[in-house]
A and B are shown apart, each in its own frame.
Chain A
């Protein structure tokens, strides 16, 4: 057997393990911060954690639509609660996704006991959007969302980084602000301290 024959045989053998390699190429997401890490890091003092799944009813859906021109894709919205000693809630996290032509972005929001944003972080981007997202968040954009609550205009956060961004990073910043706004509305409309 010649060297060329052996090379060809080896290549063919190696490629038989990759029969699906040519199928279904998804645009890969990039996890910037894992959900568990975000919840743990932004609910300081929490000793136990809970997940509350709220299934949206007609009244709340109408309220969400009235507050923001947005209809959630999923009727079930999950809130992640961190509770400290005595069962007191120290923080409530939710993950708000927004779709772009370049793949989805996801923003983690944690609300403090006063109902205002205590932490906002981009938790997921895509291979394509990651550099634009990092450029946008590198301006300190996310800290401008801290303290906001339902009814606040999240686009004001963009004024805090005015002149520092252009092109796709600016577009990412606008999408992030939109996602945060939707998260504020979902939290303000759906989250109740006690379950119903």
Chain B
């Protein structure tokens, strides 16, 4: 059985759980806008953000520099692609992975009171922690030049959102009055 029952707990605990989830969702909406603006939502755009440009290949470099000149229409000049280099990724990782783990831990505290079957509870807890770690694993793999791992970062984002929605839905159901508790294993 769970450590406690959210359904039968103190009203203040229910209130805290619901407000945490709603404000977390509020934050996720802005996180979505941030990603949409600065990275992109497709694997190609995520790759362009995280996979470093090809560096100097001194083995195959010509002895002399050479150049090409083309006309330029300033009105059509594309804005620079936003990129995340290794130093920036280190900075992003050190704060985000910690925050992800704290959010996963807080979700776990709620999950423990949802009276879910043990196998389901443990699965969702593992996914809650795992998706945060895999999000940045994908980013680091792209940083190492493995652009195909953009899908890992994208799927991890979906996973985090899915965990959130499941916990939100179950929490709302648990705190509603007039529902009988489910059996737990």
Contact = CB atoms under 8 A, between A and B. Distances in A.
Interface of A: 2, 4-5, 7-8, 11-12, 14-29, 31, 34-36, 39-40, 48-61, 71-75, 80-81, 95, 99-104, 106, 124, 190, 192, 195-196
Contacts of A103: 88, 91
Nearest to B46: A24
Contacts of B154: 20, 23-24
Interface stretch (B1-9, B108-116, B119-127, B161-169): B161-169
A21 B28 contact: yes
B160 A23 contact: yes
Contacts of A14: 25, 29
B38 A29 contact: yes
Nearest to B22: A11
A4 B80 contact: no
Interface in B124-174: 131-132, 135, 138-139, 153-154, 156-158, 160-162, 164-165, 168-169, 172-173
Interface residues of B, number: 74
Given A19-B162, A20-B41, A101-B91, A52 B84 contact: no
Interface string B77-121: 101101111011011100010000000000000000000000000
A149 B46 CA distance: 38
B184 interface: no
A133 to B, nearest CB: 16
B13 interface: no
B29 A18 contact: yes
Given A22-B135, A104-B88, 19 more contacts: A2-B176, A14-B25, A18-B32, A20-B158, A21-B35, A23-B154, A26-B82, A26-B84, A28-B37, A35-B79, A54-B65, A55-B67, A57-B62, A61-B58, A75-B61, A101-B87, A101-B91, A103-B91, A195-B67
